[in-house]
Amino acid sequence: MVRIGIAGAAGRMGSRITALSKEYENIQLTGAFDRKGHQDTGKDIGALVGIGECGVQLSDSLESIIDNIDVVISFTTIEASLEHVRLASSKGKAVVLGTTGFGKGHIQEITGLAKKIPCMMASNMSMGVNLLLKVLQDIARVLGEGYDIEIIEAHHRMKKDAPSGTALKMAQVIADALDRNLDEVAVYARKGIIGERKAKEIGIQAIRAGDIVGEHTVMFGGLGERIEVTHKVSSRDTFARGALRAALWVLGKSAGLYDMQDVLGLK
Ligand code: NAD
């Protein structure tokens, strides 16, 4: 039995992970918390997420639940997630980290903290996207040079970071496959007299509208043909189930930083 604690349990992702945890007989929800001052602090989290009372109250800190859990699942904010990993690392607890938008310095810190604990970090926990990352690597390698690569992502209006962590991961995988430095070839927006497209550019464009859960299209545009690969998510439950699967997988692993490809055995 894996005892999980959910960070940001009142949020869009946290509430779905909390609700779906009930479906897993080898997962026990033993803690749930959100930010300090949250209006629902102290209320039963099961009732809050629509699965009926479960006897676990929404707390306002990881400190208050950490001794009672094996794995903390955090889909929150960058600063909050870093705090969660720091505390989990000092207490020897495993982490599933779904928050997106980390910079290089943050990832460096997380990598350091994961020397003491198993930590699974992924900007997208869906099976489909992780499979696609593998396929994109193959397409890029086979096509090689001569195809223009453009990534277009679309998300809901509330999303805070852009481009999405998934679009960046796709760009990174393709850049690695083609031996390009992403920092040098990424182009995030175009406007005005920009001249001809450079051959090695990897374009990444972000659309924000309404309640789109998450869509990514990668285009390989050649002369006379183009390949487009598209992934669309219609429900956050896809990510939530991935996070719960990761929580079952990560407990008992040796210390280190893992990703969803490890969880799904795609490496
Ligand atoms: P959200 O705003 O609905 O939820 C975030 C929750 O975290 C809120 O309830 C907020 O109050 C809470 N929070 C803030 N500070 C906190 C703290 N210090 N301690 C505990 N809780 C705190 O956002 P969301 O749509 O659920 O997304 C959260 C993150 O997950 C974003 O970075 C998003 O991009 C990412 N995300 C990742 C995946 C994936 O598969 N990895 C999928 C969807 C979203």
Measured from the CA of 243, which atom of ligand 1 is nearest? 40
Measured in Å, residue 77 CA sits from the centre of ligand 1 at: 6
* Digit-coded pLDDT (tens) for 25-48: 999 999 999 999 999 999 999 999
Q: State whether the beta carbon of 164 lies less than 6 angstroms from ligand 1.
A: no
- Residue 98: pLDDT over 90: yes
Question: What is the structure's pLDDT at 267?
Answer: 81
* Digit-coded pLDDT (tens) for 78-92: 999 999 999 999 999
Measured from the CA of 159, which atom of ligand 1 is nearest? 34
- For residues 145 and 267, the model is more confident at 145
Mean pLDDT over all residues of the chain?
97
Decide: 208 and 157 in contact? Cβ < 8 Å.
yes
Instruction: State how beta strands 94-97 and 226-233 pair.
Output: unpaired
Q: What is the pTM of this model?
A: 0.93
Q: State whether the beta carbon of 75 lies less than 6 angstroms from ligand 1.
A: yes
* Digit-coded pLDDT (tens) for 112-129: 999 999 999 999 999 999
The radius of gyration of the chain from alpha carbons, rounded to an integer in Å, stands at 20
Active site residue 159: yes
* Digit-coded pLDDT (tens) for 207-262: 999 999 999 999 999 999 999 999 999 999 999 999 999 999 999 999 999 999 99
Q: State whether the beta carbon of 130 lies less than 6 angstroms from ligand 1.
A: no
